[in-house]
């Protein structure tokens, strides 16, 4: 194992642990939501509005804006003036929320126009459209909270405190669960309580970060002053956000077409997306977040070979999880949806479309995880143009494919359009990387990925064999949950065993005879 891998494992495991807990909490939140409210016009209205702040939250909570901030913080900390980094953080805490407040105000005023554009199918039912507009207006102030969260998370990552930074998303989901079970049940309409839970979750995130940084003096007073790095950071925010938000923006396009597929289609695509984000959060986001400070440091030290080594090990680590996660999630999609969501007001009629949409997302999970890692290299080298343009192109491809595929495959076609766009984005992004002159050797990745793919296919066969014992038409029962856990556990054991066998045979091949 190389030193790059050893150095990367600790942060990756820490981020993956907390992000994994956050994704599990998100699944629990969606389970509670589906049980109490089902999949209908009410949930369609709230979830269509929730796509907007949730896209922004994902960018911030999963360090999407950090590539624009971390290089400047790293450079500031290397200056002789030790207080320079603190001044930069204070300026960011002053200007970013102010800019977000302006965006929020514009969003509140234009909410009816935005929701008509995002959900044209709701125009036939003014009550549903009005509910979505009201929910969006209630949740939009979260943008101000998350804009203050972003530089605090970047500061913790530069300090190497990746676990605390990643845990903020867990706090958000836990607070939102409590709000769903209380405020949403007490308020009328229920979407008001669901929306207020988003604001309370953002406030809890901000309080947690403040409580961590304040005792050590790492929380300066917000300032509207100036700093030499401020202009570069503000100029980089939009390109970086656009480059990393290709998947989120593509998903944001889907309600435009899902709202025309009938009742519950928006809810089905939302729940499928939630399951698809679990593996990307466990490893794709974790590896990309942990690798960025190392990429930035390697570039400032002038070590292109070190940058290539970090990239190689990062992608190997990402593939080791993302490939089996994509195949396993697709193979067990119906048992997962039936075992976890099919209860209360979430009926069997919603299970099959949701499971098929999960399969559509799984086609692109590996590409989505790789894009986040590869983009960090471009950001570390100060090259934001290529990732931004390719991300915008991916959104355009999604929009172009969604209509025809949705007509033929329903919500599964919408998910598949996102996956195909992600693969197109990754292929062109890797082609652009060949021109960076960092010693990149893609054929090594293909060979390692092929071994992971074979092990994952055998894993899926074993998992499906166990899952066939369940009676999934009955939905969430104790027996079905045990069988689902057994299927997942069997798959993990088979995959881990095959990987361990491959490593053992590799080491044995180099032993002296």
| 243 token code pair | 């480059």
The predicted model gives 19-29 an average pLDDT of 82
Residue-averaged pLDDT of the chain: 82
175-184 pLDDT, tens digit each: 999 998 988 8
334-354 pLDDT, tens digit each: 999 998 888 877 778 888 999
Separation in Å, CA 382 to CA 240, 297, 377, 512:
10, 13, 9, 46
The predicted model gives 433-440 an average pLDDT of 70
According to the per-residue pLDDT averaged within each range, which of 55-59, 174-178, 372-376 is highest? 174-178
More confident residue, 513 or 318: 318
CB neighbours of 162 closer than 8 A, spacing ≥ 6?
11, 14, 15, 156, 289, 290
- Whole-number pLDDT of residue 3: 47
CB-based burial label for 471 (10 Å; 0-12, 13-18, 19+)? exposed
Give the confidence band of 236 by pLDDT, cuts at 50, 70, 90: confident
Residue pointed to by tokens 């290299």: 377
The predicted model gives 262-286 an average pLDDT of 79
Rounded Cα–Cα distance for residues 71 and 143 (Å): 23
- Whole-number pLDDT of residue 141: 93
The predicted model gives 58-64 an average pLDDT of 60
More confident residue, 283 or 84: 84
According to the per-residue pLDDT averaged within each range, which of 65-79, 306-320, 348-362, 499-513 is highest? 348-362
242-266 pLDDT, tens digit each: 777 778 888 888 888 888 887 778 8
- Whole-number pLDDT of residue 297: 62
More confident residue, 452 or 490: 490
Beta strands in 74-136 (DSSP E): none
**CB 258, CB 414: distance < 8 Å:** yes
| 496 token code pair | 């881990």
- Whole-number pLDDT of residue 6: 47
Sign of the C-alpha dihedral computed for residues 40, 45, 46 and 48 taken in this order = positive
- Whole-number pLDDT of residue 459: 94
**CB 163, CB 17: distance < 8 Å:** yes
Residue pointed to by tokens 């466990």: 282
In this model, does residue 73 exceed pLDDT 50?
A: yes
- CA nearest neighbour of 419 among 380, 365, 383: 365
> 3-state SS string over 438-473?
CCCCHHHHHHHHHHHHHHHHHHHHHHHHHHCCCCHH
CB-based burial label for 136 (10 Å; 0-12, 13-18, 19+)? buried
**What are the sequence ranges of the domains in the chain?**
3-440, 442-508
More confident residue, 82 or 457: 457
| 334 token code pair | 């119906």
- Whole-number pLDDT of residue 234: 81
- Whole-number pLDDT of residue 77: 78
- Whole-number pLDDT of residue 512: 42
281-316 pLDDT, tens digit each: 666 666 766 666 666 666 555 555 567 777 777 788
**CB 68, CB 95: distance < 8 Å:** no
- CA nearest neighbour of 12 among 405, 239, 390, 320: 320
More confident residue, 143 or 77: 143
Give the confidence band of 412 by pLDDT, cuts at 50, 70, 90: very high
386-396 pLDDT, tens digit each: 888 888 899 99
In this model, does residue 53 exceed pLDDT 60?
A: yes
| 278 token code pair | 């679990």
């Amino acid at each position: 194992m190389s030193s790059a891998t050893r150095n990367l494992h600790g942060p990756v495991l820490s981020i993956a642990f907390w992000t994994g807990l956050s994704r599990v909490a998100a699944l629990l939140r969606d389970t509670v939501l589906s049980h109490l409210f089902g999949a209908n016009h009410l949930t369609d209205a709230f979830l269509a509005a929730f796509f907007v702040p949730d896209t922004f939250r994902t960018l911030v909570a999963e360090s999407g804006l950090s590539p624009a901030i971390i290089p400047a913080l790293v450079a500031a900390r290397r200056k002789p003036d030790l207080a320079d980094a603190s001044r930069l953080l204070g300026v960011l805490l002053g200007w970013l929320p102010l800019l977000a407040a302006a965006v929020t105000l514009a969003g509140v005023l234009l909410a009816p126009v935005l929701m008509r554009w995002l959900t044209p199918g709701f125009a036939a039912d003014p009550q549903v459209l009005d509910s979505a507009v009201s929910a969006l207006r209630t949740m939009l102030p979260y943008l101000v909270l998350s804009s203050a969260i972003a530089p605090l998370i970047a500061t913790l990552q530069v300090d190497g405190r990746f676990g605390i930074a990643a845990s903020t998303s867990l706090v958000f989901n836990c607070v939102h669960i409590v709000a769903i079970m209380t405020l949403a049940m007490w308020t009328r309409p229920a979407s008001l309580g669901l929306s207020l839970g988003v604001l309370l979750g953002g406030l809890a995130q901000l309080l947690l970060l403040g409580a961590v940084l304040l005792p050590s003096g790492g929380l300066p007073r917000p300032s509207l002053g100036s700093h030499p790095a401020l202009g570069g950071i503000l100029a980089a925010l939009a390109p970086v956000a656009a480059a990393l938000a290709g998947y989120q923006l593509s998903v944001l396009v889907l309600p435009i077409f899902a709202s025309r597929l009938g009742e519950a289609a928006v809810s089905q695509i939302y729940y499928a997306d939630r399951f698809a984000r679990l593996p990307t959060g466990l490893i794709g986001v974790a590896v990309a977040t942990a690798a960025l400070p190392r990429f930035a440091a390697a570039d400032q030290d002038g070590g292109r070979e070190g940058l290539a080594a970090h990239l190689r090990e990062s992608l190997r680590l990402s593939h080791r999880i993302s490939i089996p996660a994509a195949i396993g999630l697709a193979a067990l999609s119906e048992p997962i949806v039936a075992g976890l969501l099919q209860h209360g007001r979430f009926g069997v009629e919603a299970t099959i479309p949701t499971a098929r949409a999960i399969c559509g997302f799984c086609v692109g999970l590996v590409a989505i995880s790789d894009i986040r890692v590869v983009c960090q290299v471009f950001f570390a080298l100060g090259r934001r143009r290529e990732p931004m343009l390719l991300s915008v192109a991916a959104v355009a491809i999604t929009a172009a494919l969604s209509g025809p595929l949705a007509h033929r495959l329903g919500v599964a076609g919408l998910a598949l359009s996102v996956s195909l766009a992600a693969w197109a984005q990754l292929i062109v992004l890797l082609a652009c990387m060949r021109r960076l002159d960092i010693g990149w050797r893609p054929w090594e990745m293909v060979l390692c990925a092929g071994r992971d793919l074979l092990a994952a296919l055998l894993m899926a066969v074993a998992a499906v064999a166990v899952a066939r014992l369940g009676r999934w038409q009955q939905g969430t029962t104790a027996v079905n949950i045990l069988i689902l856990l057994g299927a997942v556990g069997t798959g993990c054991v088979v995959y881990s065993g095959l990987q361990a066998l491959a490593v053992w045979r590799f080491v044995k091949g180099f032993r002296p005879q």
